[in-house]
């Protein structure tokens, strides 16, 4: 049959599976009729030793004559060695937007923690919001260099570096994922490499703020006088354990062994569960919290919600003590104190839950929580003595000697 308008209009609608109708005049040209009533023109041709079906378009949007002309054009392209299917696929991939590539990246990276995902999304929205709907293949080195420079000058050098590192990761993923039928990446060199080639990355010195020993007393006094005892307890736990902000916030009561005096961070940054012993003061603090707890979280407010907002508490502590700090500064303070007390390197690594790196011997040393109990108590004692919460020396009552 010849697929004319009158013939197509009379084609029956199938009840279940689509039905195919072939044209007698143009070899491979035909129509696919769906149970939904949609009728679509196609062309079937052997391309690279395989028969491929190319969708031309819907009937109604295209007339039979228009579809025939397109079919003949496609057939001519194929006859001269072209591959319309590959061209269409490549064109579709080349239109992948940054937002789509980012979504595919997050879907593929099952190992990313939820906080990392949130940070990446916030950074992309903050720095590249006007690029999210732009095809990723159209992001150029010049665009990256300009955005990095302007964002660093106007907002934050550290955030500019971070945003471009995230962008680099997404584009590297896209280069590996989006390839043509011959396996060639659709994206050439990653445009973010221009920052390395021109040495344009901002030099951002690693933060080194710690609470000094003489600042611990006013700091503790301010913490203990906070209106919210929950936040005060939270800050004390950070400085007495060296836990990261989220690690402490996510602690749940099943992770705390009050009898064994240990706490366990489940699935931390390095994916290795981290068990720490609790010193005397910390153990008493946890027992007190447990007695009045109304939530599964160790650090929750009176309504049972996990605490989250520290802005006002940080400002209140700074005002009362003159000590400005961030939650991560407390982890750095813990590590600095431990080092000053000559805590063995293996114990300090274990307390901080750091990987051993190239230290082969350390890989054979199994450090249990009990082996860390003495170093942990030593650190706690130092902090409490500096804070004035524990005597700096043992007081011994001397008996008066009676002379006869």
**77 and 113 together in one domain:** no
Q: Tens-digit pLDDT profile for the chain (404 aa)?
A: 788 888 888 899 998 889 999 888 888 898 999 999 999 999 888 877 778 888 888 998 889 989 989 888 888 877 777 776 667 776 666 788 899 999 999 999 988 888 889 899 999 999 999 999 998 888 899 999 999 999 999 998 989 999 999 999 999 998 888 876 566 677 778 999 999 999 999 887 666 688 999 999 999 999 999 998 999 999 999 999 999 998 999 999 999 999 999 999 887 766 678 899 999 999 999 999 999 888 999 998 878 888 888 889 999 999 999 999 999 999 999 999 999 998 888 888 889 887 655 454 444 444 578 889 999 999 999 999 999 998 865 544 545 444 43
Residue 256: predicted pLDDT: 94
Tokens of 125: 């929205």
**Is residue 267 within 8 Å of 353, Cβ to Cβ?**
no
- Closest CA relative to residue 236, chosen from 222, 217, 223: 223
DSSP reduced 3-state for 297: strand
Helix axes 311-321 and 216-224, enclosed angle (nearest 10): 130
- For 220, other C-beta atoms within 10 Å of its C-beta total 24
CA 202 – CA 159 distance, rounded (Å): 10
375 part of a folded domain: yes
In a domain, 399, yes or no: no
In whole angstroms, give the CA distance from residue 352 to residue 354.
5
Same domain, 34 and 156: no
**Residue 58: beta bridge partners?**
40
Q: Is 130 a member of any domain?
A: yes
Query: Which among 161, 191, 163 is positioned nearest to 175, based on CA atoms?
Result: 191
Per-residue pLDDT at 183? 66
In a shared domain, residues 360 and 294 = yes
| CATH number of the domain encompassing residue 54 | 3.30.160.390
245 and 365 share one domain? yes
CA nearest to 219, candidates 8, 6, 384 = 384
How does DSSP assign 45-84, residue by residue? EEETTEEEEEEEEEBTTB-HHHHHHHHHHHHHHHHTT--H
**CATH code of 182's domain:** 1.10.150
Q: What number of residues does the chain have?
A: 404
Strand partners, 347: none
Whether residue 113 sits in one domain with residue 68? no
Measured between alpha carbons, how far is 37 from 116 in angstroms, rounded to an integer? 47
Domain boundary residue among 197, 232, 253?
197
User: Among residues 193, 237, 217, 261, which one has the least CA distance to residue 327?
Assistant: 237
Q: Which residue is associated with the tokens 């003489």? A: 214
Answer yes or no: do 219 and 277 share one domain. yes
Burial letters 23-38, b for 16+ CB under 10 A, else e = beebebbbbbbeeeee
How many independent structural domains does the chain possess? 3
Q: Which domain holds residue 168?
A: 98-197
How far is residue 201's CA from residue 334's CA, in Å, rounded to a whole number? 31
Query: Could you report how far apart the first and last alpha carbons of the chain are, in Å?
Result: 136
Whether 105 and 241 map to the same domain: the answer is no
Quick one: tokens of 338? 């431990």
Instruction: Give the Cα separation of 380 and 132 in Å (integer).
Output: 49
Q: Which of 197, 223, 248 is the last residue of a domain?
A: 197
pTM over 0.85? The answer is no
Q: What is the pLDDT of residue 404?
A: 37
Same-domain pairing of 282 and 329: yes
DSSP structure class, residue 189: S
**Is residue 239, in this structure, part of any structural domain at all?**
yes
Q: Is residue 63 part of a domain?
A: yes
Strand, helix or coil for residue 103 = helix
Residue 281 in any domain: the answer is: yes
Q: Is residue 89 part of a domain?
A: no
Q: Report which DSSP code applies to 241.
A: H
Residues 219 and 193 in one domain: no
What's the half-sphere exposure (Cβ side, CA atoms, 13 Å) at 392?
Answer: 4
Tell whether 314 and 238 lie within a shared domain. yes
Reduce the DSSP state of residue 301 to 3 states and report it: coil
Residues 219, 368: one domain? yes
In angstroms, rounded to a whole number, what is the distance separating the alpha carbons of residues 179 and 186?
Answer: 5
Q: Which residues contact 386 (CB under 8 A, 6 or more apart)?
A: 213, 214, 216, 217
| Residue 356 falls in which region: left (phi positive, over 0), alpha (psi -120 to 50) or beta | alpha
Alpha-carbon distance of 322 to 315, in angstroms, equals 10
Per the domain annotation, does 307 fall within a domain? yes
Contact predicate 85/123, CB 8 Å: no
58 and 103 together in one domain: no
CA atoms of 381 and 337, how far apart (whole Å): 11
CATH number for the domain that contains residue 320: 1.10.443.10
Interhelix angle 327-340/229-241, rounded to 10 degrees, is 40
């Amino acid at each position: 049959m010849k697929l004319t308008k009158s013939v197509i209009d009379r084609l029956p609608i199938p009840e279940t599976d689509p039905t195919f109708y072939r044209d007698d005049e143009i070899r491979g040209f035909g129509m696919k009729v769906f149970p939904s009533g949609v009728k679509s023109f196609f062309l079937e041709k052997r391309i690279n030793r395989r028969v491929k079906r190319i969708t031309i378009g819907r009937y109604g949007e295209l007339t039979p004559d228009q579809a025939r002309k397109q079919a003949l054009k496609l057939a001519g392209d194929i006859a001269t060695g072209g591959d319309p299917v590959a061209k269409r696929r490549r064109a579709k991939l080349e239109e992948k937007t940054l937002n789509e590539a980012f979504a595919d990246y997050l879907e593929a990276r099952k190992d990313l923690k939820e906080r990392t995902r949130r940070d990446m999304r916030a950074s992309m929205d903050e720095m590249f919001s006007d690029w999210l709907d732009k095809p990723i293949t159209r992001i150029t080195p010049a665009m990256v260099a300009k955005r990095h420079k302007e964002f660093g000058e106007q907002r934050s050098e550290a955030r500019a570096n971070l945003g471009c590192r995230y962008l680099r990761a997404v584009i590297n993923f896209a280069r590996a994922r989006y390839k043509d039928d011959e396996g060639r990446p659709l994206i050439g060199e990653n445009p973010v490499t221009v920052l390395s080639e021109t040495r344009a990355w901002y030099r951002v010195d690693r933060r080194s703020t710690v609470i000094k020993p003489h600042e611990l007393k006013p700091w503790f006094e301010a913490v203990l006088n906070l209106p919210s005892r929950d936040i005060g307890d939270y800050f004390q736990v950070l400085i007495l354990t060296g836990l990261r902000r989220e690690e402490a916030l996510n602690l749940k009561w099943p992770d705390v062994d009050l009898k064994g005096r240990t706490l366990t961070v489940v699935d931390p940054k390095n994916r290795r569960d981290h068990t720490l012993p609790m010193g005397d003061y910390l153990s008493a603090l946890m027992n007190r919290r447990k007695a009045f707890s109304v939530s599964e979280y160790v650090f929750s407010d009176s309504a049972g919600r996990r605490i989250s907002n520290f802005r006002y508490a940080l400002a209140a502590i700074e005002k009362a003590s003159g000590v400005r700090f961030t939650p991560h500064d407390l982890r750095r303070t813990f590590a600095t104190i431990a080092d000053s007390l000559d805590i063995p390197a293996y114990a300090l690594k274990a307390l901080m839950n750091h990987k051993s790196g190239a230290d082969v011997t350390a890989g054979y040393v199994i450090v249990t929580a009990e082996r860390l109990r003495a170093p942990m108590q030593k650190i706690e004692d130092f902090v409490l003595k500096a804070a004035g919460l524990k005597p700096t020396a043992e007081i011994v009552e001397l008996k008066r000697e009676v002379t006869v």
